[in-house]
Amino acid sequence: MSRKMKSRLEVSAIYFVIFVMFVVIFYPLLWTVGMSLNPGKSLYSASLFPENWSLEHYKWLFTDPDSEYLLWYKNSLMVATVNAFFSVILTSLIAYAFSRYRFIGRKYGLYAFLLLQMFPAIMAMVAIYILLNLIGLLDTLTGLILVYIGGQIPFNAWLVKGYFDTIPRELDDAARIDGAGHFGVFIRIMLPLARPILGVVALFNFMAPFMDFLLPRIVLRSPENFTLAVGLFNFINQQFANNFTRFAAGSILIAVPIAVVYLLSQRYLITGLTAGGTKG
């Protein structure tokens, strides 16, 4: 086989794999969109997009008095925004300390962060439930936010620390010569240079509350406190209201804020991920 023919076969194989991945990812999305336009309640349809398509499910979500969708949307946006904001602040401070300072317990602290990432989050659900119940934060968005913020610290701290390690220490020394203190170096030098990785952390922590179902299901009990994942589950869980088409419409709209945040932070995403993994 000639080198030219071999090269064509390799390129064809790559395009075939990409096409298969595209179908696997894109087809369920198209199917969900088509199902959300189905005026009935059935999960099945004769075609990908119904002939007599309708926006009645979207209209119901926003206008019907019995719909609590806007309330769930507001709860999810609030949890996601607060989680992203405070996760960035806490993660950057912790990562800066582990990257730039040598103190007693530093090595074992990093090992503890690494160890915590090895266990699935579901193992801590009972302990989280009991703890929130003891401090009176069960069935509150505040308790849910605190769990999200604390649970993301080990992974995010390792990620951001790896990025901070790539920033030359000579910049710190130059800033101190100019009179900057520890906090001044952090604010004026480290944070501006770390915007790519902090954008990644903000994006991941903003997405988490929209995608997560298990933790809100355990923590939240009142319908007025539900996030979108828990609230939409009721559309297909109630005994006499298995409305899969309405569930599909609500699910499609979840992607809107995530897509907006992604578009605003996409220029930081690749840079932050690649640089954050260069050093440990």
Q: What is the pLDDT of residues 157-184, one digit of tens each?
A: 988 998 898 888 888 888 888 888 888 8
- pLDDT, averaged across the chain: 84
Q: How many domains does the chain have?
A: 2
User: Which residue matches tokens 């369920």?
Assistant: 28
* Cα-based distances in Å from 93 to 183, 198, 205, 217, 269: 10, 11, 16, 31, 20
Percent of the chain with pLDDT over 90: 25
pLDDT digits (tens, 9 = 90+) for 221-260: 898 999 998 988 877 776 446 678 888 888 888 888 888 8
Whether residue 49 lies inside any domain: the answer is yes
Sequence-ordered list of residues with C-beta below 8 angstroms from that of 119, at least 6 positions apart, any chain: none
Choice between 1 and 221, residue whose per-residue pLDDT is larger: 221
Q: What is the CATH number of the domain that holds 118?
A: 1.10.3720.10
Q: Determine contact, residues 157/201, Cβ cutoff 8 Å.
A: no
Q: Which residue is it, tokens 């119904």?
A: 50
**Res 50 pLDDT > 80:** no
Q: Is the per-residue pLDDT at 33 higher than 90?
A: no
Tell me, yes or no, whether 110 lies in a domain: yes
CA angle 234, 126, 204 (to 5 degrees): 65
Cβ atoms of residues 128 and 147 within 8 Å: yes
- CA–chain centroid gap for 230, Å, is 16
**What is the pLDDT at residue 136?**
92
Q: Verify that 78 and 14 share a domain, yes or no.
A: no
Residue 202: CB atoms within 10 A of its CB come to: 23
Same domain, 249 and 123: yes
pLDDT digits (tens, 9 = 90+) for 198-208: 888 988 899 88
Residues whose CB falls within 8 Å of the CB of residue 14, separated by 6 or more in sequence, listed in order = none
Residue 61 lies in a domain: no
Does residue 62 lie within any of the structural domains? no
Q: Could you tell me if 43 and 72 lie in one domain?
A: no
Q: What is the dihedral sign for C-alpha 29, 31, 34, 40?
A: negative
pTM of the model: 0.82
